[in-house]
C-alpha cells in the first residue's frame, strides 16, 4: 500500500518533467488517488497551459470514463504546491477541485502569491507541509522571486586545485574538462538568465548560450543574457549580441548602444555605484527571472558576495596547478574586512570526468 509520502514523491517526480518549460511558473506535479490507488496523474507542462491539477483531473476523466465523477468525489489529490486560487493565463485550479468535489487535498508548499486555498474552500479537507523541504528545493528559484523579490542566484566557478581561476596573464581557458563544460551548458539550459560582466566579455567573448548540453535543442529556451556595462566598453559587435538569443544590457546614460531586434536596454541605468541587488530585483520584477546563473570574473563575484546575493556556488575543480601569482575567483584580501568569514555548506559533491563538482551554499 502506498503511503501519503510516496504519492507526494510521485507528484514531485512528475513536476520535474516541466523543468525546462514552465518558467516563470513553478514546477508542479499532481497525483489523484481513490481508495489509495492512483487514478490520475498530471504535471504543469508549459507556462500558459493547464496546471498540474487540471491535467490530473482530465487524466481521471480519460481513464475512468462515466465512472470518473463519482470516483473524484471520493478521491484525494496530492500536489507539491498549493493549488492556485486566482486567475492568470488559466482559471484557478481551486474552482475545478471544488466543482468535482475532491474530498481531500495534500500539498507540500504554500504559495504566497495566492489567496489561500483552505481559506477560500473551507469545506475541503486540507493537509499541508508534506515533503515541504523537497518541494522548496525543487522550486527554489520560484520561491526566491516570490518571497525575496529576486532570483535564486548561482555562481559558476572553474578552478585549479590551488584555487586559481587564471594564470597571472589572465589566460583561463580549459582549466576543467570537456565533461564539466558540457555540464555547464546543461545548467545554462535550466537557467532563465545568465549574468556576466564586461571583463569576461572582453577577455573570452563568450556567446553564453546552451549548445553542448546533451539535451534536445527544441526542449528548452535559450536563457536571457544579462550584462552590466558601467563604463560603456561594449561596442555591439561582441558575441553576446549574436542573433537568435535575447540580451538585456544595463548601461551608463552616455552609452551609444540602442535597442535592436534581440537586444534590450534596461530602464535601470548602470551608474558606478548601482547596487547589484537593484539589477537582480529588476530581473525578477520586469523579466520574471526565477533562476539566475552567474558566469563572470572575480570582480562581479566579489560584488555579489559583498551584497550577500549569492545563494549557491557551483565550483568545478580540475586536476591542474596554476602556480604563483595565479588569479583567484574572489579577492578575499580586499573583501574580508567587509565580508568576514563565509561558511559554506556542502550540499553535493559529484565526480564529472576528471573533475570534482561542488555545490556550496554560503552561510552569511
CB within 8 Å of 49: residues ≥ 6 apart: 90
CB within 8 Å of 279: residues ≥ 6 apart: 195, 226, 228, 250, 268, 270
Query: Which of 176, 242, 165, 175 has its CA nearest to residue 200?
Result: 165
Q: Is 179 exposed, middle or buried (0-12, 13-18, 19+ CB in 10 A)?
A: middle
- 88-126 in b/e burial notation, b at 16+ Cβ within 10 A? eeeebbbbbbbebebeebbbbbbbeebeebbebbeebeb
| Cα diameter, the chain | 75
Instruction: Say if residues 36 and 10 touch (Cβ distance below 8 Å).
Output: no
Instruction: Say if residues 51 and 62 touch (Cβ distance below 8 Å).
Output: no
Q: Which of 53, 82, 295, 312 is catalytic?
A: 53
Instruction: Say if residues 314 and 157 touch (Cβ distance below 8 Å).
Output: yes
Question: Is 53 an active-site residue?
Answer: yes
User: With helix as H, strand as E and coil as C, how does 255-272 read?
Assistant: CCCCCECCEEECCCCCCC
Between strands 29-34 and 312-318, the pairing is: unpaired
CB within 8 Å of 201: residues ≥ 6 apart: 227, 234, 238, 239, 240
Instruction: Find where cell 508534506 sits.
Output: 130
Grouping H, G, I as helix, E, B as strand and the rest as coil, residue 153 is strand
Which residues have a catalytic role annotated?
53
Amino acid at each position: 500500500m502506498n503511503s501519503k509520502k510516496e504519492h507526494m514523491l510521485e507528484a514531485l517526480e512528475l513536476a520535474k518533467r516541466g523543468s525546462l518549460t514552465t518558467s516563470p511558473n513553478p514546477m508542479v506535479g499532481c497525483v489523484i488517488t481513490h481508495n489509495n490507488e492512483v487514478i490520475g496523474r498530471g504535471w504543469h507542462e508549459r507556462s500558459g497551459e493547464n496546471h498540474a491539477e487540471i491535467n490530473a483531473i482530465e487524466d481521471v476523466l480519460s481513464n475512468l470514463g462515466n465512472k470518473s465523477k463519482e470516483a473524484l468525489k471520493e478521491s484525494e489529490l496530492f500536489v507539491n504546491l498549493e493549488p492556485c486560487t486566482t486567475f492568470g493565463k488559466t482559471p484557478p485550479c481551486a474552482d475545478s477541485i471544488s466543482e468535482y468535489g475532491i474530498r481531500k487535498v495534500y500539498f507540500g508548499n504554500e504559495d504566497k502569491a495566492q489567496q489561500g486555498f483552505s481559506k477560500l474552500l473551507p469545506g475541503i479537507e486540507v493537509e499541508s507541509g508534506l515533503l515541504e523541504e523537497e518541494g522548496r528545493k525543487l522550486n527554489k528559484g520560484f520561491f526566491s522571486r516570490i518571497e525575496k523579490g529576486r532570483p535564486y542566484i548561482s555562481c559558476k566557478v572553474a578552478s585549479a586545485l590551488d584555487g586559481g581561476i587564471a594564470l597571472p596573464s589572465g589566460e583561463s581557458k580549459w582549466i576543467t574538462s570537456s565533461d564539466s563544460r558540457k555540464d555547464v551548458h546543461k545548467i545554462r539550459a535550466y537557467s532563465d538568465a545568465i549574468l556576466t560582466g564586461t571583463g569576461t566579455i572582453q577577455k573570452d567573448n563568450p556567446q553564453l548560450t546552451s549548445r553542448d548540453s546533451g539535451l534536445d535543442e527544441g526542449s528548452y529556451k535559450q536563457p536571457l543574457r544579462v550584462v552590466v556595462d558601467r563604463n560603456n566598453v561594449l561596442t555591439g559587435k561582441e558575441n553576446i549580441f549574436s542573433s537568435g538569443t535575447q540580451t538585456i544590457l544595463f548601461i551608463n546614460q552616455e552609452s551609444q548602444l540602442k535597442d535592436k531586434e534581440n537586444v534590450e536596454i534596461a530602464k535601470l541605468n548602470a551608474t558606478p555605484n548601482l547596487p547589484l541587488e537593484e539589477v537582480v530585483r529588476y530581473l525578477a520584477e520586469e523579466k520574471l527571472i526565477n533562476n539566475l546563473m552567474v558566469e563572470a570574473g572575480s570582480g562581479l563575484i566579489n560584488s555579489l558576495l559583498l551584497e550577500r546575493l549569492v545563494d549557491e556556488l557551483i565550483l568545478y575543480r580540475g586536476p591542474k596547478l596554476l602556480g604563483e601569482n595565479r588569479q583567484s575567483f574572489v579577492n578575499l584580501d580586499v573583501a574580508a574586512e567587509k565580508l568576514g568569514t563565509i561558511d559554506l555548506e556542502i550540499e553535493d559533491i559529484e565526480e564529472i570526468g576528471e573533475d570534482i563538482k561542488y555545490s556550496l551554499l554560503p552561510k552569511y
